[in-house]
A and B are shown apart, each in its own frame.
Chain A
């Protein structure tokens, strides 16, 4: 259910709703008139234009970025067969992934039917081929190993002690600092105007960064990070959960504020990809 803008404007402007209505009507009338002629652009919002007798609106990049904060820095990627295989467990169907756990309980004891009488509840069990159990078991084992691997990696992070207490629904984990030193090491002589490194600052306050690439595959993200590692001295791969799928962002630098990150984004335009975005780490 959409909210009316009138009370919101009244609150923002600190005037009554009765005062807002004529002001808003005047603005809307003016806006529609201009949209009919050349179109009208509102900075930070977008452009209104009359098209085929209908008022059309094209959102400004600022607005598009604002509504896509949770997904910022993510871009479409080509799926090679290898990438697809790697991406599919995290990417494919999260509902199925979660649902497989409860269903795995009966599936995890395939020997049980031969030793225990559970026939009323398991009439279909015998119909399943052995292959499906093996497949499910392998998938579960793989997921377990992946989880265990993540746990180990996170435990070895420099950030681990302060951040690894995030709840299971946490949308982002800190940069993999265990890998960034190698990247940093490869860039022992970074350009003099490279973004400042976070090493010397309190990382708690430097939670803004610049995202230069993203991938659903950690390997692909690391490859991109290695590429940028020769140009910048603070490159990291940050994993984040978006719509129950894991994405890996390649980040450069750590900054205390969004404006500081955007300043570097503007200053280093030639060295950064055109779709580089500022991003706040969680």
Chain B
């Protein structure tokens, strides 16, 4: 198989990160950082006297590679 193009690499990179985060896995990219999805449970917040119920969420977190 011939060497993949830059577009192929970027597309595969995006797909892999999406897939892994979508299944709850963290992904480490050497020289760049680590992508992960952290869970935020449902919470009640109070803003200006109004109580609001925020649904649970998964939040994408990126930790840059400290060695890069």
Instruction: Write the residues of chain A forming the contact surface with B, with a CB cutoff of 8 angstroms.
Output: 1-6, 8-9, 12-15, 19, 23-25, 27-29, 31-32, 42-46, 54-57, 59, 62-64, 66-71, 74-79, 84, 87, 91, 214, 216, 242-243, 245, 247
Q: A8-B16, A56-B62, A67-B21 given as contacts; is B53 within 8 A of A28 (CB)?
A: no
Report 30 cross-chain contacts, Cβ distance below 8 Å, ordered by A residue.
A2-B25, A2-B26, A2-B36, A3-B27, A3-B28, A5-B17, A5-B29, A6-B30, A12-B16, A23-B3, A24-B9, A24-B31, A42-B13, A45-B18, A55-B62, A55-B68, A57-B60, A59-B62, A63-B17, A63-B21, A63-B60, A64-B60, A66-B18, A69-B22, A78-B51, A79-B44, A79-B51, A91-B53, A243-B56, A247-B55
B31 touches A71 (CB 8 A): no
Residues in B neighbouring A91, C-beta threshold 8 A: 42, 53
Residues in A neighbouring B62, C-beta threshold 8 A: 55-57, 59
The complex places the Cα of A43 from the Cα of B41 at a distance, in Å, of: 28
A55 touches B32 (CB 8 A): yes
The complex places the Cα of A143 from the Cα of B51 at a distance, in Å, of: 25
* Additional pairs, 16, CB under 8 Å, beyond known A57-B35, A67-B60, A68-B57: A2-B34, A5-B16, A12-B16, A13-B4, A13-B12, A19-B3, A24-B13, A45-B14, A46-B60, A55-B64, A66-B18, A67-B58, A71-B58, A84-B51, A214-B55, A216-B53
Residues in B neighbouring A56, C-beta threshold 8 A: 62, 64
The A-B contact count (CB < 8 A) is 146
Query: Cβ of B8 < 8 Å from any Cβ of A?
Result: yes
**Closest chain B residue, CB of each to CB of A245:** B42
Instruction: Write the residues of chain B forming the contact surface with A, with a CB cutoff of 8 angstroms.
Output: 1, 3-4, 6, 8-10, 12-18, 20-22, 25-37, 41-42, 44-45, 50-60, 62, 64, 68
Within the complex, which residue of A6, A76, A243 is in contact with B52, where a contact is CB–CB below 8 Å?
Answer: A76
B10 touches A42 (CB 8 A): yes
Residues in A neighbouring B25, C-beta threshold 8 A: 2-3
Q: How far is the CB of A109 from chain B (nearest CB, A)?
A: 34
The complex places the Cα of A227 from the Cα of B50 at a distance, in Å, of: 23
**Closest chain B residue, CB of each to CB of A23:** B9
